Structure 1
Amino acid sequence: MQNVQKLTLAVLIQAALISTAYASEQSEAKGFVEDAEGSVLFRTGYINRDKKAPGKKDQSSAAQSAIVKLESGFTQGVVGFGVNAVGDASFKLGENKNANNGMIPKHADGSAYDHWARGGASVKARVSNTTVEYGTQVLDIPVLASNTGRMVPEYFTGVLATSHEIENLEVIAGKFTKNQYSDQINTDSEKLDRAVVWGAKYKVNDALNTAYYGVDIKDKLERHYANVNYKQALANDSSFTYDFSGYHTEFEPGTTYSATVADPSTQNTHNTIFAVSGTYNKDVHNLMLAYQQNSGNVGYDYSGNGDGYQSIYMPNSYLSDFIGNDEKSVQLQYSYNFKNQGLAGLNWTTAYVYGWDIKATDNKGTIISDHAKEREFFNQVKYTVQSGFAKDASLRVRNSYYRASNAYQAGYIGDTNEWRIFLDIPVKLF
């Protein structure tokens, strides 16, 4: 923690020294109360997984949640101070005898909680265009991301410094010592010892964006992420977007892996996963083709992060993330916006992903095939209210049809038909 405190102090001093050279966010602070914002998101969620593989149980979860977010403004002066708070309260819908899917916390006997609540607070300080926040936070960092795709968000506890001192450049550095999954009551059930994160993203111009992030998780792994995104304007208001993204991970010897990897006893284990994609956009049409590939002696293993399995910012990611050892996968995705049909706010996305050359393992980690396959057919319809008293309320319905070869049944998801239905109603408090 001492090193992080030194880093935070250095960032603040640097911000103070160069604050006269750039426009300052802090100089425009209106006050602790004047800039405060508050909202609550009412979410009704349902996930059903119809398991087709032998020996795998069906999973079904349904719940109602209220997710509260409160943010004060910053006090005026050279250094501004403020506080934030996040929290959620939920109750199950129905018996939920087979609750799972990261939706609902469970008692020691496996039964679902009837109702539960969680949350936390943080303090923050700002100098010039640099903010430091300490406490409970929801993270959106490619190498350490909060799972927000379930009922309630995943919370991390720690310190994060975010700097915008240079125009179009965001730099971050932080350290986190606790994390709480979406379906956990204990604030540190995963016993995250230490996760140090750093990184930056830079907007070169309106067409070109770049990013790099890293994380060092004590006794588990060191991971690096890079992204380059270029959008080329074409004739007739159309465009083509080129995207490259990738991770490189070095695992600590003795790390316990998830079932997606092979040879868990291997020393000096490492993984590289990358993806390239091209997306054509024309008015209401969006067509993407993506290729993704793993290499190394294990698959990409996000459970080593100690987060909720969301730190995989790659295109071939739906129910399956296509992250098997040595796996290659290709995706074709099409999205359509119904605004020209008089249905503004209604969108449909369909995709097919096919993966091959997977080194599959049995439950003991022994390789039983080096050419296993998996495939997924994905569909999602989402409607967002555009105006009126229910503005921004949304209903999302998605379905995945997932199948894998016999050798890959025990090592990963297993044949599954999945439905997800989420109704979100946001309410602005102030």
Structure 2
Amino acid sequence: MQKSTKILFATLIPTLLISNTYASEQSDAKGFVEDATGSVLFRTGLNTRDKKNGKTDQNSSGQSAIFKLDSGFTQGTIGFGVGILADGGFKIGDNAHAGTDMIPAENDGATDQFGNVTPRDHWIRGGGYVKARISNTTLTYGTQTVNSPVFASNLGRIAPEYYEGVSITSHEIENLELTLGKYTKNVRASQVNSDANKLDKAITWGAKYKVNDQLNASYYGLDIKDRLKRHYVNTNFTQPLNENSSLVYDFNAYHTKWDPEGNTYSETTNDKNNRSNSIWAFSTTYNIGPHSVMLAYQQNTGNTGYDYNNNADGGGSIVLPNSYLSDFAGAGEKSVNLQYSFDFGALDIPGLTWTTAYAYGWDIDVANADRTRLITDNAKESEFFNQIKYTVQSGFAKDVSFRARNYIYRADAAYRENYMPNIDEWRVFLDIPIKLF
């Protein structure tokens, strides 16, 4: 285990012995049944990829039902509970040339020589977990979704991504959240077998501290056996300007060291023992009334890109401002991004929002097939992004949401062969949440 992990664990345990100056979560427990909750999310999704440059188009569509049944905690000094996470669904249409991770596929997402997968006609997945809580510290063991900047489940597909393992979350010190986890199995949205990604062991740790109402800071770490070691830091500061406007400054940075067995797709070296990457980004967002404008700069160094989701680290393990269809995270890449959002609540259409963005990246390093030399150190990519989202605010359909995203992606020929082809893509989702109890 990493030294920093041991330090965090040594910090977490003594916090249980500290008398709190605010209410204990466990002291407020109402009971195993009394605090139980159950919900199902019906999600209909469509993903179409119109690939350019002679590449085969892809499309995926399906219907899923995502269940969560969660008991309350028993009363007493130590509370106990259980829960279930599960999903089931079926494909809609032929899902021609699938492979976008939208729905589970035959052979757990294995591709043919053309990079295509055969989608399942229907599926059922999931698992259970047990949990225990003392004071403001909760331990969970079993099937989980994970949300960390370095290790996160992809929840943006028709089916969710699950992990199996043990996690601890502690709020013993006011405004400080400590997390620690060990996970041994991973199943992506395109897989059914609970250990389809052959995850041996992933150790995660982290701390998030709210300094005051304006300033937050966090650090997270990850060590996946035989794959990679990763660290992340963030600071976020909000500067109020007047009663309806503010400036938000956000800094994010990752550093990754790859193990010899780890998988990358954008490395520029054939030395498997010497692959590393650092990427950082700074953004400033101006908010005034219904308008929000963000300007971001992102820069990558090292002999690989920020390659995630190839090592069972999760399809959501990226928190960078220039991340849309592309993440603008190629080896050596620099990128800028201008994003604008509008809340139509100002026009008496509450729940409707629109976001548009343009990102441009340059100075991308691309190596030849055997990674012995650079083809170019100045490849470029760009993306135009639009999203419209509407969430019903009241009535019998409250919280039902519809969102449509469009990506227009273009890149130089050298980078297209290394990364992905030019694409015009649509993703459309209808979410219908139902509270069971």
User: Does the alignment reach a TM-score above 0.5?
Assistant: yes
Match of 1:410 in 2: 417
User: Percent same amino acid among aligned pairs?
Assistant: 59
SS of 1:234's equivalent in the other structure is strand
In the superposition, relative to structure 1, how do residues 354 and 13 fare at CA in structure 2: closer, same or farther (>3 Å)?
A: closer
Match of 2:133 in 1: 126
SS of 1:144's equivalent in the other structure is coil
Match of 1:384 in 2: 391
Structure 1: which 5+ runs fail to align? Answer: none
Match of 1:184 in 2: 191
Q: What are the superposed Cα offsets for residues 38-74 of structure 1, whole Å, 9 maximum, x if unpaired?
A: 11000000001111033x3211000000000111100
Tell me the CA shift for residue 21 of structure 1: 4.9
Tell me the CA shift for residue 341 of structure 1: 1.3
Distance 2:242 2:83 in 1: 46
Q: 2:178 matched to 1:171?
A: yes
In the superposition, relative to structure 1, how do residues 11 and 76 fare at CA in structure 2: closer, same or farther (>3 Å)?
A: farther
Tell me the CA shift for residue 375 of structure 1: 0.1
More off after superposition, 412-421 vs 356-365: 356-365
Match of 1:138 among 141, 145, 149: 145
Tell me the CA shift for residue 111 of structure 1: 2.5
Match of 1:241 in 2: 248
Tell me the CA shift for residue 309 of structure 1: 2.6
Question: Do 1:271 and 1:297's aligned partners in 2 also have CA atoms closer than 8 Å?
Answer: yes
Q: 2:266 matched to 1:267?
A: no
Q: What are the superposed Cα offsets for residues 274-331 of structure 1, whole Å, 9 maximum, x if unpaired?
A: 0000000001000000000000121111134413432111000000001100000000
Question: Do 1:19 and 1:128's aligned partners in 2 also have CA atoms closer than 8 Å?
Answer: no
Q: 2:114 matched to 1:115?
A: no
Match of 2:32 in 1: 32
Match of 2:400 among 393, 396, 404: 393
SS of 1:409's equivalent in the other structure is helix
Match of 1:306 among 291, 312, 317: 312
Distance 1:186 1:53 in 2: 35
Match of 2:352 in 1: 346
Distance 1:199 1:373 in 2: 34
In the superposition, relative to structure 1, how do residues 307 and 255 fare at CA in structure 2: closer, same or farther (>3 Å)?
A: closer
In the superposition, relative to structure 1, how do residues 119 and 394 fare at CA in structure 2: closer, same or farther (>3 Å)?
A: same
Tell me the CA shift for residue 20 of structure 1: 5.2
Cα RMSD of the aligned pairs, angstroms, is 2.0
Distance 2:11 2:140 in 1: 13
Question: Do 1:75 and 1:81's aligned partners in 2 also have CA atoms closer than 8 Å?
Answer: yes
Tell me the CA shift for residue 342 of structure 1: 1.6
Q: 2:160 matched to 1:153?
A: yes
Q: 2:59 matched to 1:60?
A: yes
Tell me the CA shift for residue 7 of structure 1: 10
SS of 2:346's equivalent in the other structure is helix
More off after superposition, 238-247 vs 17-26: 17-26
Tell me the CA shift for residue 239 of structure 1: 0.2
More off after superposition, 336-345 vs 350-359: 336-345
SS of 1:379's equivalent in the other structure is strand
Distance 1:153 1:359 in 2: 33
Question: Do 1:338 and 1:347's aligned partners in 2 also have CA atoms closer than 8 Å?
Answer: yes
More off after superposition, 263-272 vs 231-240: 263-272
Match of 2:82 in 1: 83
Question: Do 2:287 and 2:293's aligned partners in 1 also have CA atoms closer than 8 Å?
Answer: yes
Distance 2:278 2:9 in 1: 34
Q: Which TM-score applies when normalising by structure 2?
A: 0.93
Question: Do 1:261 and 1:361's aligned partners in 2 also have CA atoms closer than 8 Å?
Answer: yes
SS of 2:414's equivalent in the other structure is helix
Distance 1:272 1:14 in 2: 33
Letter of the structure 2 residue corresponding to residue 208 of structure 1:
L
More off after superposition, 214-223 vs 20-29: 20-29
Match of 2:72 in 1: 73
Question: Do 2:263 and 2:311's aligned partners in 1 also have CA atoms closer than 8 Å?
Answer: no
Distance 1:390 1:20 in 2: 41
Q: What are the superposed Cα offsets for residues 79-122 of structure 1, whole Å, 9 maximum, x if unpaired?
A: 00001211001100011131221012222474321100100111
SS of 2:417's equivalent in the other structure is coil
Aligned residues: 425
Distance 1:317 1:248 in 2: 17
Tell me the CA shift for residue 254 of structure 1: 4.4
Question: Do 1:272 and 1:300's aligned partners in 2 also have CA atoms closer than 8 Å?
Answer: yes
Q: Aligned ranges for residues 184-263 of structure 1 at < 5 Å? A: 184-258=191-265, 260-263=266-269
Q: Aligned ranges for residues 309-328 of structure 1 at < 5 Å? A: 309-328=315-334
Q: What are the superposed Cα offsets for residues 140-197 of structure 1, whole Å, 9 maximum, x if unpaired?
A: 1111000011112100000000000000000001100001001101111110111000
Distance 1:12 1:375 in 2: 44
Match of 2:104 in 1: 105
Q: 2:365 matched to 1:356?
A: no
Letter of the structure 1 residue corresponding to residue 346 of structure 2:
N
Distance 1:322 1:40 in 2: 35
Q: Aligned ranges for residues 266-285 of structure 1 at < 5 Å? A: 266-285=272-291
Q: What are the superposed Cα offsets for residues 377-428 of structure 1, whole Å, 9 maximum, x if unpaired?
A: 0000000000000001000001000000111111112100000000000000
SS of 1:360's equivalent in the other structure is strand
Question: Do 2:390 and 2:401's aligned partners in 1 also have CA atoms closer than 8 Å?
Answer: yes
Distance 2:424 2:122 in 1: 28
Tell me the CA shift for residue 12 of structure 1: 8.1
